[in-house]
Amino acid sequence: GNSVTQMEGPVTLSEEAFLTINCTYTATGYPSLFWYVQYPGEGLQLLLKATKADDKGSNKGFEATYRKETTSFHLEKGSVQVSDSAVYFCALSESGGFKTIFGAGTRLFVKA
């Protein structure tokens, strides 16, 4: 079945450091790919998405590129802030289906 694997956390960085959170997927067809963010005590909210191969999603300084050849959708940010501390989820929506499947989540701590 379809699945999403993302790097385990927690990830601890100093402010202004470079961030990468790895995400790979297994899916049939051409899924849409997403990154969601969850702040403490809240539900998930969309951070960015990409719907076809080689698309780059971006938002709030975060970027991720849909790589079909490596089945990856790694999240990057050039300079993290304390306010980026949260849990990040990689997800896919099945092409032609109704389900959104999530990875296990990666907790990010950013120190001042």
Partner 1 sequence: NAGVTQTPKFQVLKTGQSMTLQCAQDMNHNSMYWYRQDPGMGLRLIYYSASEGTTDKGEVPNGYNVSRLNKREFSLRLESAAPSQTSVYFCASRARAPDTEAFFGQGTRLTVV
Please report how close the Cβ of residue 27 comes to partner 1 at its closest, in angstroms.
11
Task: Give the footprint of partner 1 on residues 11-40 (CB under 8 A).
Answer: 31-32, 34, 36
| Cβ neighbours of residue 55 closer than 8 Å, sequence gap 6 or more | 65, 66
Site string for partner 1, 37-76 (x = CB under 8 A): ----xxxxxx--x-x-------------------------
Tokens found for residue 45: 């909210």
| Among 89, 17, 87, CA closest to 49 | 89
Q: Which of 23, 75, 103, 110 forms a contact with partner 1 (CB under 8 A)?
A: 103
